[in-house]
Amino acid sequence: MSSSVRAVTFELDASSVGGMRCEVAVRMLEPFDESVVVVSDELPVLGGDGSAPSPLALFTGALAACLMTQIRMFSKRLGTPVDAVRITGRTEWRSIARAGEPYEAEPVGFTLDVMLDSEASVEDQQRLIEAAKRGCFIEQTLARPNAIAHRLWVGDGWEEV
């Protein structure tokens, strides 16, 4: 069976020069050309200025938006017409602090509840959600363990961390 593979690659360049505000220049390298700046900050209670969403708020928005986008894209391809779409849900983590050490972070759970304004049968709507889950880049990333490679600049070269 024929299949086609398409790479989707972004590069990022993030800067922080004080406080908790972070500006990330994000550029899609393939297959298209998107250049945006994503900004985050923390609440004053965490030492920030509250000038932008926190990284976890951005993540939560991106997760819901990714599934939403996939539902809209696949609605046409599967011939399951959909008008308005609403997704509600939760993202949950916890931090665990042992005496004298910085806390460690842990995911707890993620839920996404979908309401489709559609004349299609429940079976067709379920098929659409199933396809959207498989096509959602963020959901598929969360579904499996991913290694993140880190390097630290040590003045005359990079070292793995």
Check binding of 22 to its own copies (CB under 8 A).
yes
Q: In this structure, are residues 72 and 87 in contact, taking their beta carbons and an 8 Å threshold? A: no
CB of residue 44 to its own copies, shortest distance in Å: 10
CB of 75 to its own copies, least distance (A): 10
Considering only residues 32 through 91, tell me which ones interact with its own copies, judged by CB under 8 A: 32, 34, 36-40, 42-43, 45-47, 50, 53-66, 68-69, 71-74, 77-78, 83-91
Count of positions on this chain that bind its own copies (CB under 8 A) = 120
How far apart (Å, rounded) are the C-alpha atoms in residues 59 and 7? 22
Least Å distance, CB 82 to its own copies, is 9
From candidates 49, 79, 119, 142, binder to its own copies by CB under 8 A: 142
Task: State the binding string over 84-123 for its own copies (x if CB under 8 A, else -).
Answer: xxxxxxxxxxxxxxxx--xxxxxxxxxxxxxxx-----x-
156 binds its own copies (CB under 8 A): no
The residues that bridge with 23 in the sheet, in sequence order, are 15, 39
Where b means 16+ CB within 10 Å and e means fewer, 27-49 reads eeeeeeeeeeebebbbeeeeebe
Under 8 Å between Cβ of 53 and 60: no
Residue 51 and residue 41 in contact, taking contact as beta carbons nearer than 8 Å: yes
